[in-house]
Amino acid sequence: MHLALLVSGGKPAHLRPGDLPDTGALDGVIITGGHDVEPVLYKAAAEIKGKYDPERDAFEAGIIDQALQHRIPLLGICRGAQLLNVQLGGSLIQDLRKHRKLTSNRRTLLPLKTLRLEPGSRLAALLGKATLKINSLHKQSIDRLGTGLRVSGRDLDDIVQAVEHPDRDFLFGVQWHPEFLAYLPRQRRLFRDLVSAAREYAGRRGRET
């Protein structure tokens, strides 16, 4: 992740539970992948034996809330996209295996799965293509959409792979891991545009103070 941001001109800082971040000093946020989001956060019972990290859930949920409140550019990756959706009132599919017909349940860092971008979406404009090859490490996905979000990409089984907020300068959630595909120019665009949005946000904040 650090390398993808560095080559895009960013200055990454890694925050973890226990830190006391000054969210007023953040110009952009990435919520990364990891353990499953605890179902209690979207008022559901556990359907599988998941790996949960309540401390991380609470920490990152707070960061997301601050980013939403202050309109800080935000990119959610895999679990991060799911937690973003949950914080906006959405829910998750806890076990994708029974939803897959045309796609494999195999997890892979390689870009072997097909992403179909929604025509007219901001993500389609950003990535500049109707279909892309992506990797896949997730076993859960977005189900009911959070308030204000819209689907911007699905896979061949119609499973949500990307969401965006059309009324925000930069607010995307993607189910794949673009940081492992940063050797591909189109995947780097996500980080490049996040850094650009962060600079614009920092400039606006500086003018307001």
Catalytic machinery residues:
78, 177, 179
Sole residue written with tokens 């806890």: 94
Phi, psi (deg, nearest 5) at residue 191: -75, -40
Tell me the CA distances in angstroms from 89 to 43, 71, 75, 112, 151, one per residue in order: 10, 18, 17, 31, 15
52: β partners: 36
User: Quick check: 173 and 84 in contact, CB under 8 A?
Assistant: yes
User: Quick check: 97 and 48 in contact, CB under 8 A?
Assistant: no
- The Cα 101–Cα 88 span in angstroms is 29
Torsion of the alpha carbons at 33, 38, 44 and 48, rounded to the nearest 10 = 80
Tell me the CA distances in angstroms from 108 to 39, 43, 133, 136, one per residue in order: 25, 30, 12, 5
For 19, the token pair is 């830190």
- The Cα 190–Cα 182 span in angstroms is 9
